[in-house]
Homo-oligomer: A and B are copies of this chain.
Amino acid sequence: MPFSLHELEHPIVQAPMGGGASTPALAAAVSEAGGLGFLAAGYKTVDQVERELAEVRSAMSAGVPYGLNLFAPPGHGTGKAEVSSYADSLRTDAQAQGVDLGDTRWDDDGYGEKLDLICEQRVPVVSLTFGCPAPFEVSRLQSSGSAVWVTVTTVGEASAASADALVVQGVEAGGHRGGFDDAHPGDVGLLALLQLVQAAVDDGLPIIAAGGLMTGRGIAAVLACGAMAAQLGTLHALSRSGNGARSTGHDEPRRSTHCAHPSVHGPDSPWHRQPVPSRPRRRA
């Protein structure tokens, strides 16, 4: 049986936080406490991801679910036609010389290898940011036992996504925006975006709400709005298991060019003056 959000004791997902903020210890602590912990595959080698998967599993009881975030397959940039055309112009000469032109590479994050690893290791939940895999890749992940979540920041992305669940990320999100078009991410606040997405997609499609959720009241709000869970990054990064100091300010490495919302997450935010939970409560 693939993972269902109904399995969670607490409707709380730890945001993956690529770039060092999330750790296997944090993911395991959250999952063991009844939420859903997440690892981030982005920026890491396939070997690193494999080690972290082993680490998170060894830190948890058997069968406790967890997730892994994967950067979506890279696009081909605006130069695809030009590069192909140039390669074509060389092909006859290359064949005459018995030389292989090779394949054009557009990916520096090992997407294909990571996908193979996920399928091999049967990761319970795979969330995608920066795009949606092709339907045959979604099917392949599902067949190997993974629930596939896609991160969306606009109604258009939500409508286009083929997934088991949508992570709906409002403009308040503290990390990079996870939308399909990094140059033009959605700019709508979470609560408005939830209502807009709900009007556009099937009622039965589970939604995980993300962006600016820092309190129990905020979590209650998105659940009342129909989300099945709340995804929290900054608050988890501030916990003892998270790499908080590296992740809550603006020092985090970013694939996105879009900054965190300074008035929610910046050093003047009231959250930085409040005590934060040091460690999730463990299940009895």
Please tell me if the beta carbons of A172 and B189 are within 8 angstroms of each other in the complex: yes
Are B218 and A189 in contact (CB-based, < 8 A)?
A: no
Contact with B along A90-112 (1 / 0, CB 8 A): 00000000000000000000000
Select which of B155, B192, B221 is within 8 A of A225 by beta carbon.
Answer: B221
The answer to whether A58 has its CB under 8 Å from any CB of chain B is: no
Once the chains are docked, how many angstroms separate the CA of A189 from the CA of B170?
8
Best-surrounded residue of A186, A195, A198, A200 (most CB of chain B within 10 A): A195
Q: Report the minimum CB–CB distance from A32 to chain B (whole Å).
A: 27
Give the shortest distance, in Å, between A9 (CB) and chain B (any CB). 20
Within the oligomer, what is the number of copies of this chain?
2
Question: Cβ of A222 < 8 Å from any Cβ of B?
Answer: yes
Q: When the two chains form their complex, are residues A189 and B189 in contact, meaning their CB atoms are under 8 A apart?
A: yes
| B contact residues around A190 at 8 Å (CB) | 189, 191-192
1/0 per residue A179-211: CB within 8 Å of B? 000000011111110111011100000000001
Give, as a whole number of angstroms, the nearest-CB distance from A78 to chain B. 25
List of 4 A-B pairs having minimum Cβ-Cβ separation, nearest first: A189-B189, A192-B212, A224-B224, A221-B225
29 pairs across A/B with beta carbons < 8 Å?
A154-B263, A155-B270, A170-B192, A186-B263, A187-B263, A188-B189, A188-B212, A188-B263, A189-B189, A189-B212, A190-B191, A191-B191, A191-B212, A191-B213, A191-B221, A192-B212, A194-B221, A196-B264, A196-B270, A198-B217, A199-B270, A199-B271, A199-B274, A217-B224, A217-B226, A220-B225, A221-B222, A221-B225, A224-B224
